[in-house]
Chains A and B, each alone.
Chain A
Amino acid sequence: MRVAVLPTGRTEWHGLGVALDRLFPGHHFYSVPTKAEVASNPESFPYPGFTGNTLTDASERTPPEAALELVSRAAQEALGDRRRRAADLVVVVDDVELQNAEQPARIVSVMRRAVEEHLGQIHQTRHLDKTRDLLCAKVSFHLIAPMIESWFFADSRALERAGVQGAEHAVLNDKTDPEAFKTTDPGYLAATELDCPALAALPAHRKKKLRPKWLGTLPRGRYPKGYLQWLCRVPADRTCTSYSETSDGGAALAQIRWESLFSRPPDHFGLLRALVDDLEDGLGCAPAMGRVDGEVSPLTARSLAPQDAVLRNI
């Protein structure tokens, strides 16, 4: 089967399809948008997510344009066209992000609303019925909490590929679910801009774009991307890190050891387990490593989808 992966992060665009190819051999996962779209507009890919700001009641009433764009593209991949073969499944993947870490249910609610809004924009009944059916049959929405780098902290080899030295010491212990990422590394938590002298020497207007994530305002201890940048820090570099989401992150994700992730306690990685559970159902086969047990997140589990689901799983 052909599965379109429609992510909102560059790391996932580069690596998630390859990683899933290994998890479900014999099936083909490809990233959307196409390489040509990316070549034409390299600064504006992939599709923007809608979780980068804290979602509110208003977001549920009027879903963000980014959510509508995701639904629109997913529907087209599911439908296919005279010039494009339809995907058998479409998986839309967005990060929970720290801004919405306390309200993943609201993200799902906004996405459901976006699907309804999209359907409301289709005027012809026959197109509407077909689109509604296809969205329910082929398209899923999954979350990564809080962001894709959290997965790497369950696999020392992924951390190594991302550029971390002494990666085995950075892997989270079994008490911490990577989807609820938290580090107590005192050096990281206490770091300041002075730990990045090349950056500190720059004028203020240039720092904003270059500074590592951990120097921002988000809660540092819960920020896996920030921690990864810190672990890969290069004080003499203006970005203060060697970690690149596109190359290092993409390669780390493409080669991630699924068995490391699924050997975590059964109550870890509930959102990831829901993704795999959904794919297993859609593809009609178990992952290469055998069935993945454990607790799936009720938010995005195919098997726990609501009666009035608008997509396969929400």
Chain B
Amino acid sequence: MSPSAFCLRVRDFRVLERLNWNPKGVCVLSGANGVGKSTTLDAFRFLRVLFSQGHESALGAVDGVAFQRWGADPDAPVEFSVEVGELTWTLRFPMSARGLKSTYGEELHRGGEVVLRAAMFQDEWLLDQERQPLDETRCCAKVLWDRQSPAWMQPLVDALSGIRIYDTYWLDQVKRVEPVRATGSLLHMTGRNLWSVLANWKGSPLRYHGQFDWVMAEARRAFPGIIGTIEFDRGLPYLFRPGASDPSEGLLPNRAADGMLTGLLHLTAIAGAKEGSLLAFDEVENQLHPHAIRSIIAAMRRQADERGLTIVLTTHSPVVLNQFRDEPELVFVLGHGEPGLKVPASMTDLHTEEWIAQAKLGSLYERLAFGAPEIDGQDR
């Protein structure tokens, strides 16, 4: 799947009045506090869980209170739409302050033709003009996929199931000293199964295409002198500095630096991502030294190029933004309030390229040239 084919549209979801976004490559989502960066990631998460587990789990996954934008027309639904290639999947949620008012609406279009349609407040849906009873848990698209698995639907299913949102790692669990079983193949969104995944990858390098070695090579670049390799002994991970050979020099995770663990988590998430999938890291810079930030973003770019990944980074870090000096079109800004522009707007839609070329993006962000809170005196 070409990652550029993925388009997300949102209307009246929390602080987002309208969002129309086609993320691509390794890109940044920036903006002042409270403009909807994390909400955008929640929209991705919501759609993934909705498709795989149904709407109740999806609402739970994004803490479904205050779902509708404050100030929105109470009779208007909260709307989500995903476009992948020729497919458009649209969802409409009639919401009240107490939650979902009734059944939600759903449509799947293929090349402009309606494949399925469920109207809000109805107990039935139409599949190719035939009436079907609503499923208790699953959305209609999932019912269709489970029944028929039509090949034309594969890109949408891959796009949705490939979404991985990493916003809060549970470092206390990662640092816990307890034996793990080498069973994980994909990093959990809390990162809690980091050691299980790495042990599994290390034990089966052919099956997992050398993912462990890639993570270690990139970790050595990002944290020079700190990490050489990881060995597993009776299920416990031991982290060794470069050149360390004495088993007693191995550090258990509870003594490892938080920043290094965060870097390992980022790298493991990337290495395990399926081809063509979308990953998002909320405030990717947290706990990382500028060198590690630069190194990990470079690693992300290499993987994105090789495996068609789309990697979304939300950030307030000038160091992260400076890595996009040569790709300002991949910096997207929320909360700019410019009529006629998409939300989020690309830096190159907001500003001319020659103006951007005069300064580091981090400097521009720091001096409120974009993605800034509203302060008096901003405009001349």
Segment among B68-76, B146-154, B355-363 that sits at the interface with chain A: B355-363
Q: DSSP class of B's interface residues: helix, strand, loop or mixed?
A: loop
CB of B198 within 8 A of chain A?
A: no
Q: Classify chain A's interface size.
A: 20 to 34
With beta carbons under 8 angstroms apart, the residue of A30, A39, A75, A84 that contacts B358 is A75
Q: Does B363 contact A30, Cβ atoms closer than 8 Å?
A: no
Chain B residues 336-380 with CB under 8 Å of chain A are 338, 350-355, 357-359, 363, 366-368, 372, 375-378, 380
Closest residue of chain B to A4, judged by CB? B380
Q: Does B363 contact A81, Cβ atoms closer than 8 Å?
A: no
Taken together as a complex, chains A and B put the C-alpha atoms of A134 and B368 apart, in Å, by 24
CB of A194 within 8 A of chain B?
A: no
A113-126 toward B: CB 8 Å interface, digit per residue (1/0)?
00000100011101
18 CB-based A-B contacts, threshold 8 Å: A33-B367, A34-B368, A34-B378, A37-B367, A39-B375, A39-B376, A40-B375, A72-B358, A79-B352, A79-B354, A79-B355, A81-B352, A81-B355, A82-B350, A82-B352, A83-B351, A127-B354, A131-B358
CB of A106 within 8 A of chain B?
A: no
Q: Does B372 contact A36, Cβ atoms closer than 8 Å?
A: yes
4 smallest A-B Cβ distances: which pairs? A35-B377, A36-B378, A36-B375, A81-B355
Chain A residues positioned under 8 Å from B378 (CB to CB): 34-36
Q: Does B358 contact A76, Cβ atoms closer than 8 Å?
A: yes
Closest residue of chain B to A71, judged by CB? B358
Q: Does A80 contact B376, Cβ atoms closer than 8 Å?
A: no
Chain A residues positioned under 8 Å from B359 (CB to CB): 72-73, 76
Chain B residues positioned under 8 Å from A38 (CB to CB): 377
Chain B residues positioned under 8 Å from A193 (CB to CB): none
With beta carbons under 8 angstroms apart, the residue of B326, B338, B358, B377 that contacts A123 is B326
Chain B residues positioned under 8 Å from A81 (CB to CB): 351-352, 355
Q: Does B380 contact A84, Cβ atoms closer than 8 Å?
A: yes
CB of A61 within 8 A of chain B?
A: no
Q: How far is the CB of A68 from chain B (nearest CB, A)?
A: 10
Beyond A37-B368, A82-B350, is A122–B380 a contact (Cβ under 8 Å)?
no
Chain A residues positioned under 8 Å from B358 (CB to CB): 72, 75-76, 79, 118, 122, 131
CB of A21 within 8 A of chain B?
A: no
Q: How far is the CB of A246 from chain B (nearest CB, A)?
A: 16
Chain A residues positioned under 8 Å from B352 (CB to CB): 79, 81-82
With beta carbons under 8 angstroms apart, the residue of B326, B338, B351, B377 that contacts A36 is B377
Taken together as a complex, chains A and B put the C-alpha atoms of A39 and B372 apart, in Å, by 12
Closest residue of chain A to B364, judged by CB? A76
CB of A160 within 8 A of chain B?
A: no
